[in-house]
Amino acid sequence: MTICKCYLYTLLSVLLFVSGCGVSPLSDSQGVRPEGDERPNVLLIVADDLGYADLGVYGSEIQTPNLDRLANEGVLLTQFYVAPACSPTRAMLLSGTDSHIAGLGNMAELMAPNQKGQPGYEGYLNFQVAAMPELFKEAGYHTFMTGKWHLGMTEATGPAARGFDKSFALLPSGAGHFGNRLPIVGPDKAKYSEDGEALATLPEDFYSTRTFTERLIDYIDEGKEEGRPFFGYLAYSAPHWPLQAPEESIAKYRGKYDAGYDVLLEKRLRRLKELGFVGQEVETFPRLRGESAWDELSDEEQRYQARIMETYAAMVDDIDVYVGKLIDHLKSIGEYDNTLIVFQSDNGPEAHNLDHGWEALENWVEDCCNNSFENIGAPDSYVWYGPNWGQAGNTPLRMFKGYVGEGGVRAPAFFHFPKEIPGDSKTSEFATVKDIMPTLLEFAGIDHPGEGAFQGREVVAMQGHSLVPLLTGKGEVDRPPNDYMGWELVGKRAIRQGEWTFVYVPYHEVIDGVLPVAEMDKWQLYNLTDDPAQIHDLSESHPEKRAAMLALWDDYAERNNVILPDQLSGY
Domains of the chain as residue ranges with CATH: 1-38 (no CATH), 39-349+367-476+485-559 (3.40.720.10)
* pLDDT recorded at residue 509: 57
User: What is the set of active-site residues?
Assistant: 86, 150
From 109, 66, 74, 89, select the one nearest 411 (Cα to Cα).
89
Kindly report the pTM of this predicted structure.
0.93
**Strand partners of residue 497:** 500
pLDDT at 21 over 90: no
pLDDT tens-digit readout, 304-336: 999 999 999 999 999 999 999 999 999 999 999
pLDDT at 558 over 90: yes
Using an 8 Å Cβ cutoff, are 395 and 284 in contact?
Answer: yes
Average pLDDT over residues 241-258: 98
Helix, coil or strand: residue 21: coil
* pLDDT recorded at residue 480: 93
**Hey, what amino acid is at 9?**
Y
Using an 8 Å Cβ cutoff, are 161 and 138 in contact?
Answer: no
* pLDDT recorded at residue 568: 79
**Hey, what amino acid is at 273?**
K
pLDDT tens-digit readout, 130-149: 999 999 999 999 999 999 99
3-class DSSP string for 545-562: HHHHHHHHHHHHHHHCCC
pLDDT band for position 571 (50/70/90)? confident
* pLDDT recorded at residue 273: 96
* pLDDT recorded at residue 357: 79
* pLDDT recorded at residue 356: 83
Omega into 480 within 30° of 0, i.e. cis? no
* pLDDT recorded at residue 519: 57
Q: Residues, the chain, total? A: 571
pLDDT at 442 over 50: yes
Q: Alpha carbon of 220 to those of 164, 223, 445: distances in Å?
A: 13, 5, 21
The DSSP letter of residue 394 is: H
Average pLDDT over residues 401-415: 97
pLDDT band for position 6 (50/70/90)? very low
CA–CA separation, 468 vs 256, rounded Å?
40
516-545 b/e (C-beta count within 10 Å ≥ 16 → b)? ebbeeeebbbbbbeebbbbbebbbeeeeeb
Using an 8 Å Cβ cutoff, are 231 and 143 in contact?
Answer: yes
Average pLDDT, the chain: 91
Read off φ and ψ for residue 262, nearest 5 degrees.
Answer: -70, -40
Q: Alpha carbon of 162 to those of 219, 224, 290, 429: distances in Å?
A: 17, 22, 45, 31
